Structure 1
Amino acid sequence: MLRFADVFSGPGGLSLGFVLAGWKPVWAIEKGTWPFRTYSYNFVRLFPHLIAIQKDVSSLKMKDITDLPKGLEAVIGGPPCKPFSSANRRRMRLSHEDYNLPRRFIKLSIKLKPSLILMEEVPGFKRFMEKMLLKRLKKAGFHTKVVYLDASEFGVPQRRRRHFLLALNDKSELLNEILERLFCLRSSSSISVGQAICDLPEKAYYGKEEEPLSYRSSPVNPYQEWARTSFGGSSKVTNHVTSKAKRMAEKFPYIRPGENLKKAFSRLPAEIKRTFKNRSAIHSNIYRRLDPRKPSITVTHPRKAVIIHPFKDRIITVREAARLQGFPDAFKFIGPLNAMQQMVADAVPPKLAEAIAKAIAGVLK
C-alpha cells in the first residue's frame, strides 16, 4: 500500500481523496484546533497508527520530524491560500503572515525525500510559483508539472478551479503519464446542485445541531448513492445546520435560482432598498442562490458569501456544502458552526483528490 504524509492537512479533504484511492496516511500536521480535531476524528479511528500532530508548520524544525516514519511515496498539502486569493486583494500579499508557507512546505517536503510532492493552491498563486518554488525543486532533482483542474470535471458538483503542483523525484516522462492517466478519469458529464442534495432532509438546524436526521428519500442517482455508502457509509445525516441570518434572509425570496442580489435588486421592496447606501457597491459574489440545474458556484464560507439554497429561503447547511464539495456523508465535521463552514470552504474536494491519487498510484506502483 502506498503511503503518504499530509502537511497543512486542514480537516482532511486531500487526505480523504488519497484514502479513497487506496493510499495509507502515515502522519499529518495541522495548526488549527477544529480542523485538527476533525481530521483526527475521521482518520485516526480508521488508521490507529496514524500520527496526527497539531503544530504550526512555520515553526516546525527538521528535528521535530526525525522520529516520524520515513520512506513515504508522497508528501501532499495545501498551504493556506489567503496571500494569493482574489478574495484577499485588500491585504498586501508580501506582508501576509502566510506568504512564505508554500516555500516552507516545499523545503520540508524535499528534506523528507518522497517519490512525489503534491501541492494544491488557488489560481492566483500561479505567477508566484516559478519564482518561489520550481527552481528550488529542480535544484533538488525533482521534475515538475503545474496543472489547472476544475473539480466539476472529476465528479464534484461544483465549479472549482485550482492549481496543482506535481514534483516527481524520478524520470520526467512519468509526469506526463500521470497527467495522461488523470485526464482519462475526467467525467463526460457534470453533476448539478439538485442532483447532489435533493435527498437531504427538509428540516435543517439553525445555529446548533441536535440529533442526526433521516434522509428525505432513498438515493435517486449514483452520486447520492456514493455519498451515503463511501468512507464506511452513513445511515443518518449529520452537520445539517446553518446560520440564522435573519436580516439577510429578508432578501432571499426576491433572488431567483442562478441570480445574485445585484441582479435581483430591482425586485426588492422599497424598505429593503433603502438599507443600501450605495447600490453600485453590492458585490456580485455574495447573496447568490444556487441553480439546481447546474454545478454549484465555488463553495466559500456559506454565511460570509451568503450562498442560498436553490429552493429554500436560507443559507445552505454544512452538510449541503460538504455534498457540493464532494465529501461523503460519513465524514463528520467537528466544531462550532462558523468553524465547520470555514473548514468545508477551505478543503480540497475529495473526489478530485481521489482522481489525482489514482493517477499517481498507477505510475508509482
Structure 2
Amino acid sequence: MKKYNIVDLFSGAGGFQIGFERQGFKVLLSTDFDADCENVHKINRPKVPFLKIDIHDLDSDTIDKYVKKGSNIDVLIGGPPCQGFSTIGKRISSDPNKRTAFDPRNTLFREYIRILRYLQPKFFLMENVEGLLTRDKGRIFAEIKKTFAETGYDFNYVILNAADYGVPQIRNRVFFYGNRVGVKMHPPTPQYGESTGKPYKTVGEAISDLADKGDDPSINHVALKHGAINIRRYSLIPEGGRLPEDNLPPELYRKNFGNTFKRLHRNKPSLTMVPGHNAFPIHPWLNRSLTVREAARIQTFPDSYIFAGPRQKQCMQVGNAVPPLLAEVWAKYLREELDKYYARI
C-alpha cells in the first residue's frame, strides 16, 4: 500500500487522523492549541509530529520546520472550531484593522485556507457543524465559498450523517472537499440506512458489554457520581425518550432541562455526542450518563485510544471529534482517487 502524506489542522483528539492512518496515510504534521489534546497525541501517537500552537501563529517558517519545502502533501484535513474566533487576550482589539474576536473575516476557516494555499496539497477535506451553513444569516457560509473559490481549487460541500457510514450515532456534519488535480469528486456513498437495506448500527451494539463493568480509569470508563435528585429524574426517563418536564414532582423540577436529560435507546443509533457540563446523554438502561469510554465507543474510537485531562476536557475531546470510522470512509475514497492520479502521471 503506497503511503500518502497528510497534514492535520485543528486536530483535537485525532479522530480524523485515526481514519486516515487506517488507510495507510502518513501524518507529517498535526496541530492544535490545546494542551490536553497535545497530551492525547503524545499518549496515543508519540511518533507523529505534533505542534501545540494557535493557528494564527502557524506561519510558513514554522511549517517548514516540520514539513519540508516541496514535500509531497496529498491531503490537508481539519475541522476548524465552529465559533471560529480566537479569544486569547492579545487577539481582542477594538481596532477594525486588527484581529478581533467578533470580526467574521478572522474566522478560523480562513486560517485553514491560508495554510491550504501555502501547502498546496492535491486534495483537501474540512469538517464543520451543519449550522455553519445558516449561521449569521448565511454570511459566513457565503464567505467560505468565496474564499475557497479564490484558491483555484475545485471544491464542493456535502452534509453527511455519520450513521449512514456505520457510526452508531445520528450526527450531521458538513464536509468541504476539493482538489487541484482535475478530479471530479463525489462524497462517499452511504453504506447503512433505509436506502441501502442495511440497518443502522445501534447503541446497544456499541456499549452493552460495558454496562456491568466497573469503573476502569485506564480506559476512561468512569461513571459520574450523580446526586440523588438527578438519579430520581433519570429513573423517570423512558428508554429513547426525554424527561417528562410537565409531569414532575415539585422537588424534581428546575429550569432549562437540556440534552443531558435524554435517554438513549439500545436498539437505535445515539443522539449526537455533544458534551455539555461534563455529561453525555443517559445510558439506555442505567440511571447515569454515559462514561467517556461509552461515548468514545459510539464515536467509534478504539478502546486502546486514551483521552487526557479533566473529565470535562475528555468529554470535549470525544464529542468534538470526527468519528474515526467516518474519517476512514473518506480516507478510503481519497486513497482510491490518489491511486488513479498517480497511475496516470
Equivalent residue letter for 1:269: P
Question: Please, which moves more after superposition, 134-143 or 32-41?
Answer: 134-143
CA shift for structure 1 position 138: 2.5
Match of 1:219 in 2: none
**1:202 Cα shift?**
1.4
1:102 aligns with 2:103: no
The amino acid that maps onto 1:123 is E
Question: What TM-score do you get using the length of structure 1 for normalisation?
Answer: 0.79
1:242 to 223, 232, 248: 223
Structure 1 residues 136 and 21: alpha-carbon distance in aligned structure 2, compared to 1, 3 A threshold: same
Query: What is the SS of the residue equivalent to 2:159?
Result: strand
Given the alignment, which residue of 161, 168, 172 partners 2:179? 168
Structure 1 position 186, deviation (Å): 5.2
Q: Secondary structure at the match of 1:363?
A: helix
Structural RMSD (CA): 2.4
Match of 1:359 among 317, 333, 336: 333
Pick closer, same or farther for the CA change 1:114–1:306 going to 2, 3 Å: closer
Post-superposition Cα deviations, 1:29-60, rounded to whole Å, max 9, x if no partner, equal 1110111110222122xxx3x21111111222
Identity, % of aligned positions:
31
1:330 and 2:328 matched = no
Partner of residue 315, structure 1: 289
C-alpha displacement of 1:96: 7.6
Aligned length: 311
Q: Distance in 1 between matches of 2:256 and 2:103?
A: 26
CA distance in 2, matches of 1:95, 1:203: 46
Report the residue type matching 1:285 in the other structure: N
Which amino acid in structure 2 is aligned with residue 59 of structure 1? D
Shift in CA distance, 193/323, structure 1 to aligned 2, threshold 3 Å:
same
2:65 to 64, 67, 70: 67
Q: Distance in 1 between matches of 2:63 and 2:156?
A: 27
2:235 to 253, 268, 273: 253
Are residues 1:189 and 2:215 paired? no
Q: For structure 2, which runs of at least 5 residues remain unmatched after alignment?
A: 86-99, 340-345
Q: Structure 2: which amino acid aligns with 1:111?
A: Y
One of 257, 269, 276 as aligned partner of 1:295: 269
Query: Which residue number in structure 1 is paired with residue 251 of structure 2?
Result: 271
The 1-side partners of 2:297 and 2:126 are apart by 23
Per-residue Cα deviation, 1:148-189 (whole angstroms, up to 9, x for no partner): 10000111000000000002112152x13xx3xx21655632
SS of corresponding position for 1:159: coil
Give yes or no for contact 1:241–1:337 (8 Å, CA) kept in 2.
no
Could you say if the C-alpha distance between residues 292 and 303 of structure 1 is closer, same or farther in structure 2, counting changes exceeding 3 Å?
farther
- 1:2 corresponds to 2:4: yes
* CA distance in 2: counterparts of 1:149 and 1:118, whole angstroms: 13
Cα deviation, residue 128, structure 1: 4.6
Q: Does 1:152 pair with 2:163?
A: yes
Letter aligned with residue 64 of structure 1 = T
Distance 1:258 1:184 in 2: 24
Give the Å deviation of 1:83: 5.3
Q: Please say which of residues 164-173 and 313-322 is displaced more in the overlay.
A: 164-173
Residue ranges of structure 1 left out of the alignment (5+ in a row): 85-92, 213-237
- Give the letter for the 1:335 counterpart: G
SS at match of 1:250: helix
Q: Secondary structure at the match of 1:67?
A: helix
Query: 1:83–1:96: 8 Å Cα contact kept in structure 2?
Result: no
| Partner deviation per Cα, 1:283-338 (whole Å, 9 max, x = no partner) | 45331111111100001116556511111111110010001111111111122211
In terms of mean alpha carbon deviation, does 29-38 or 182-191 score higher? 182-191
State the distance in 1 between where 2:232 and 2:250 align.
12
Distance 2:335 2:207 in 1: 31
